Structure 1
Amino acid sequence: MSEAQELEQLRNSIDSIDRQIQELINQRARCAQQVAEVKQKYAQPGEVVVFYRPEREAQVLRNVMARNEGPLTNEGMARLFREIMSQCLALEEPLNVAFLGPEGTFTQQAAVKHFGHAVHCHSQVSIADVFREVESGAANFGVVPIENSTEGVVTHTLDSFFDSGLRICGEVSLRIHHHLMVKDKDATVERIFSHAQSLGQCRRWLDKHYPNVERVAVSSNAEAARRASLEPGAAAIAGEVAADLYEMHILNTNIEDRPDNTTRFLIIGKLETLPSGDDKTSIMVSSRNQPGALYQVLEPFHKAGVSLTRIETRPARTGTWNYAFFIDFEGHAADAVIAPVLQGLQDQVADYKLLGSYPKAVL
């Protein structure tokens, strides 16, 4: 058999498999439509029907990765199913998602990574605006940054939870690669625009290569790319999406100081998420002003063998030198081990707020 004949056979096999895949995807889509019909059928009068279930999607993606036998990677296979699920959910209910904009930010990338490309993403000027969009019902969910592995916590996001009744419904981890970009490759760089966190994440690289160039902090990396595209002698630190959006030339790639630079984002909404089997919980507590207050907050978790993953401190809204603790830990608030810990905690602190239990990031 000749090379052409062997290739023809293989291509015919691929065409046949593609037809089967397409038929099965449409079968899945029809099942999704039936799920929506069943939910609406049994909904009580005036009840808001919930189509998107974060815990169910997390379970499906974990199962996809667990049964994958290659040659595609587990993450690659899960990303394919993420898009299938996104398109199927859009048949039930198209989701509106608010994100910290403008177009081309890493937060928008996180939104697409979590929800897929079938959602309608709406850019917001600030983190506070993202919260307001979801609180008003204009968006089903919001996506906001919470912490970076290099620069630490995003305080604006933490502070927004003081006055908000929204819940954390999920999380996304995104590897962040920063690129230095310009509009005119031949122009001398006189100033560099970027978000303050990104400038911090690239500090050592900038000190080495552009030590005397002005660094200007702006509201987002995408805004940095937009401004640099309009101002002669300006450069920006941003991602590839922003470079494409504003037709910028990338001079240097991956200039972040740490190669494992990662940002964690939160999905916020009004939904109370059920246990998925591998969850996190976030709470906010204000301790009484007394010796050993923090110890009293943390001791019950230690006794119960609950793993804490993050503790942050912010000034409380009431009283000078009073502080609120933001605590993340493994497990769901409804778990048999955790529920009594949280109940006891409420009895001994000045203020307690459950911010949400949600599936750990799968992708």
Structure 2
Amino acid sequence: MDDELNLRLKPLRERIDALDTQLIALLNQRAAIALEVGEVKKHFNAPVFRPEREQQVITRLQDLSDGPLAGQHISAIWREIMAASRALEKNIRAAYLGPVGTYSEQAMHAYFGLSIEGLPCPSIDEVFRSVEAGAAEFGVVPVENSTEGAVSRTLDLLLQSQLVIGGELALPIHHNLLTLNGGLAGITRVCAHAQALAQCQRWLATHVPHLECQAMSSNAEAARLAANDPTVAAIAGDRAATYYGLQVAYALIQDDPHNRTRFVMMGKEPVGISGRDQTSLIVSVKNEPGAVFKLLEPLARHGVSMTRFESRPARVGTWEYYFYIDVEGHRDDAPVSATLAELEKKAAFLKILGSYPRAT
């Protein structure tokens, strides 16, 4: 059996080895050209990371491919190839909500590749501050969850900060109940970020109603606590379990099996047109009849599709709101540009958060 198996596999493996030999040579050629690109960028003081260009590269290759690799596989492979090339040009740092093992860290690696240097921060506020102060070139923050809705602190900081959104990622969220030994004997409380507790509330109420639930600054911080306290169970992902040496007592305990969190990538530089873009903005209107309708009417007239509309209290002691809006297209696209020009005249307040390649 083994001899026959090896006999049939041998020529296929030899073909793969031959292709790998060609691939490594081509990848090194590509990296060498990327280094030349880096030298040109240095001369013109241009940014190393151009998300619109990377999205164009990935989209082109997805369109060229006849399979069997799916588009998501091509995207994952080329993100890592481009990340390695970027690292040869310059060491780029991204701040994220830490500690190590959070979904924010996972989102950072999924978007920038494994070659990015991560800067874990104790709060979303510190992520913004780190990028504003120059401690990191980019920041990765959660902005909304498919189950629990918007992340309020991120929305507030987007309003206050001068940083711009340069990209987004929708990350599937798979929650596990983690303990030191993989069991629940001696466990008295479940620790996790408040959003994670809310996303698992039905499961917790059904399976461990006797355990106290305690909110933490992050799921990874809960995992770190569980690693040092045998009475604590943490809700976190696989990365946190591995990093902190925990065992999975129960897997996939999120109430919604399709649970996802949207992350945005913050930076100081605006992003050019990729051909598949989205623009985010914040507006407020005067307190008068029909004000919101008048505000949104230009979008319909110019054929601009709105994909998100979220309201947030202005916190000025009156019943006034800011509206967080996402529209399809780049701010430099003619229909979006015309719409924004009209909104600027009609709105009491308008802030463009950024135009960037939208998540697939």
TM-score, length-normalised on structure 1? 0.95
- C-alpha distance in 1, partners of 2:4/2:351? 70
* 1:2–1:102 Cα change, 3 Å: closer
Deviation by residue 1:2-50 (Cα, 9 ceiling, x = unmatched): 6544433222222211110000000100110111122233x2xxxx421
Paired residue for 2:349, among 326, 347, 351? 351
Matched with 2:307 is 309
Matched with 2:271 is 273
- C-alpha distance in 1, partners of 2:341/2:200? 43
- Higher mean alpha-carbon deviation, 70-79 vs 252-261, is at 70-79
Equivalent residue runs for 1:210-225 within 5 Å: 210-225=208-223
Matched with 2:230 is 232
Aligned partner letter, 1:148: N
- C-alpha distance in 2, partners of 1:339/1:11? 54
Matched with 1:192 is 190
Aligned partner letter, 2:37: V
Matched, 1:153 2:155: no
- C-alpha distance in 1, partners of 2:294/2:316? 20
Deviation by residue 1:322-351 (Cα, 9 ceiling, x = unmatched): 211111111111111111111111111111
Matched with 1:296 is 294
Deviation by residue 1:123-163 (Cα, 9 ceiling, x = unmatched): 00111111111111111100000000000000100000222
- C-alpha distance in 2, partners of 1:2/1:313? 66
Paired residue for 1:101, among 98, 103, 114? 98
1:190 is displaced (CA, Å) by: 1.4
Matched, 1:172 2:139: no
Paired residue for 2:123, among 122, 126, 129? 126
Poorly superposed stretches of 4+, deviation over 6 Å: none
Aligned partner letter, 1:324: Y
* 1:191–1:22 Cα change, 3 Å: same
1:167 is displaced (CA, Å) by: 0.3
Query: Secondary structure of 1:337's partner?
Result: helix
Matched, 1:26 2:28: yes
* 1:236–1:4 Cα change, 3 Å: closer
Matched with 1:16 is 18
Matched with 1:91 is 88
Equivalent residue runs for 1:39-50 within 5 Å: 39-41=41-43, 43=44, 48-50=45-47
Deviation by residue 1:108-135 (Cα, 9 ceiling, x = unmatched): 0000000001110110011111111111
Is the contact made by 2:182 and 2:246 (CA closer than 8 Å) also made in structure 1? no
Query: Secondary structure of 1:158's partner?
Result: helix
Matched with 1:81 is 78
TM-score, length-normalised on structure 2? 0.96
1:104 is displaced (CA, Å) by: 0.2
- C-alpha distance in 2, partners of 1:235/1:2? 49
- C-alpha distance in 2, partners of 1:232/1:11? 48
- C-alpha distance in 2, partners of 1:179/1:266? 24
Is the contact made by 2:84 and 2:115 (CA closer than 8 Å) also made in structure 1? yes
Aligned partner letter, 1:312: E
1:318 is displaced (CA, Å) by: 4.2
- C-alpha distance in 1, partners of 2:92/2:256? 35
1:271 is displaced (CA, Å) by: 1.1
* 1:2–1:243 Cα change, 3 Å: closer
Deviation by residue 1:61-105 (Cα, 9 ceiling, x = unmatched): 112222222223221222111111100111122211000111000
- C-alpha distance in 2, partners of 1:257/1:6? 46
- C-alpha distance in 2, partners of 1:68/1:74? 8
CA RMSD of the aligned region, Å? 1.5
- Higher mean alpha-carbon deviation, 173-182 vs 67-76, is at 67-76
5+ residue gaps, structure 1, are none
Paired residue for 2:253, among 247, 252, 255? 255
Query: Secondary structure of 2:240's partner?
Result: helix
Aligned partner letter, 1:33: L
Query: Secondary structure of 2:162's partner?
Result: coil
* 1:259–1:3 Cα change, 3 Å: closer
- Higher mean alpha-carbon deviation, 75-84 vs 255-264, is at 75-84
Aligned partner letter, 1:123: P
